[in-house]
């Protein structure tokens, strides 16, 4: 296939034995972990966990990535066919998870679409970095019930410096609007578990609270007050790749966190989550060992 699945439009020919394009993946999906996952927002994880399927490769390549072990190498893990991927979904369903959680799926939407050709009887979560193609998203319409995108930047200079994607703000905003068009306002079951809707995540970056405040403003001014969920994350943990980097070489300060938290409280956004700074710990990064255990 000639790949145009994301805004980078690499147009490389992806063959099973060749790792091509920015994401360095083949035409086949590679799974690095599939297991119940308890560390998503409460309305996603619930009591039984979210059925998280982590894919190798990524179309962003953020310099501070906490999952660089798998995001920078599309060969880490087990290659699966669409049929085998669907079996993974069904096995997770049998374990009692609340949903199927596709982690970093952007560059594999063609495989995912085939695996979801018929419903699996659980909500499917599209857990992505936000750098999405409208055409790829529309190809999944009706197959995804919950969109869980990042909105990392509204500052193109930051997007260029940290993710080599100066057009990220434009594409991410358009993508989130398309996601909302597809699934509409959030819907919950009687246990408070999200069944349909958009949950926008944003991680505070050290030294860049202005970017966070601008993200909050955009969400507040774009959607109805109860239309989407917003998750303010303070889990940023410096990885070895940014050691000594200013300011990415340190954690978010308490003052930075409080500034962003207070801005969210004042924004008018009514529904969402705030992650405390104690979450900034590498122990929350799962082992990518092909396990099917929590």
- Section 98-116 average pLDDT: 97
20-67 pLDDT per residue, tens:
688 888 888 999 999 999 999 999 999 999 999 999 999 999 999 988
Q: Are 48 and 84 in contact (CB under 8 A)?
A: no
pTM of structure: 0.94
CATH number of the domain enclosing 45 = 3.20.20.70
Residue 127 falls inside a structural domain: yes
Where is average pLDDT lowest: 74-83, 186-195, 250-259? 74-83
Tokens at 255, concatenated: 């003052």
Q: Are 70 and 286 in contact (CB under 8 A)?
A: no
Residue 291 falls inside a structural domain: no
Residue 200 falls inside a structural domain: yes
- Section 126-142 average pLDDT: 98
> Residue 12 has what pLDDT?
85
Q: Are 216 and 187 in contact (CB under 8 A)?
A: no
Instruction: Give the span between the Cα atoms of 236 and 276, in whole angstroms.
Output: 11
Q: Is residue 133 predicted with pLDDT exceeding 60?
A: yes
- Section 84-97 average pLDDT: 98
> Residue 19 has what pLDDT?
63
Residue 110 falls inside a structural domain: yes
- Section 66-82 average pLDDT: 83
Residue 293 falls inside a structural domain: no
Residue 11 falls inside a structural domain: no
Range of the domain at 263: 29-284
Residue 17 falls inside a structural domain: no
Residue 16 falls inside a structural domain: no
Positive/negative CA dihedral, 179, 91, 120, 55: positive
214-224 pLDDT per residue, tens:
999 999 999 99
> Which pLDDT band holds residue 281 (cuts at 50, 70, 90)?
low
Count structural domains, the chain.
Answer: 1
- Section 204-212 average pLDDT: 98
């Amino acid at each position: 296939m000639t790949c145009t699945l994301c805004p980078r439009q690499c147009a490389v020919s992806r063959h099973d034995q060749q790792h091509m394009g920015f994401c360095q993946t083949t035409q086949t999906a590679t799974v690095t972990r599939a297991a119940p996952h308890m560390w998503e927002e409460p309305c996603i994880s619930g009591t039984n966990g979210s059925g998280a399927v982590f894919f190798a490769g990524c179309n962003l390549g953020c310099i501070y990535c906490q999952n660089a072990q798998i995001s920078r190498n599309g060969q880490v893990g087990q290659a699966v066919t669409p049929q085998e991927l669907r079996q993974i979904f069904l096995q997770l369903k049998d374990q009692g998870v609340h949903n199927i959680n596709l982690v970093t799926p952007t560059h594999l939407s063609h495989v995912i679409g085939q695996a979801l050709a018929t419903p699996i009887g659980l909500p499917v979560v599209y857990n992505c970095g936000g750098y999405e193609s409208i055409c790829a998203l529309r190809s999944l319409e009706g197959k995804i019930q919950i969109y869980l995108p990042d909105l990392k930047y509204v500052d193109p200079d930051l997007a260029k410096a940290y993710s080599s994607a100066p057009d990220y703000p434009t594409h991410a905003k358009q993508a989130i609007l398309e996601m909302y068009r597809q699934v509409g306002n959030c819907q919950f079951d009687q246990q408070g578990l999200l069944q349909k809707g958009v949950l926008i995540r944003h991680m505070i970056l050290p030294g860049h609270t202005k970017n966070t405040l601008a993200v909050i403003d955009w969400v507040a001014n774009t959607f109805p007050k109860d239309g989407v969920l917003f998750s303010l994350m303070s889990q940023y943990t410096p990885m070895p790749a940014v050691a000594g980097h200013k300011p990415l070489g340190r954690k978010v300060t308490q003052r930075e966190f409080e500034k962003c938290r207070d801005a969210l409280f004042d924004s008018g956004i009514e529904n969402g989550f705030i992650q405390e700074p104690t979450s900034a710990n590498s122990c929350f990064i799962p082992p990518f060992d092909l396990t099917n255990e929590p």
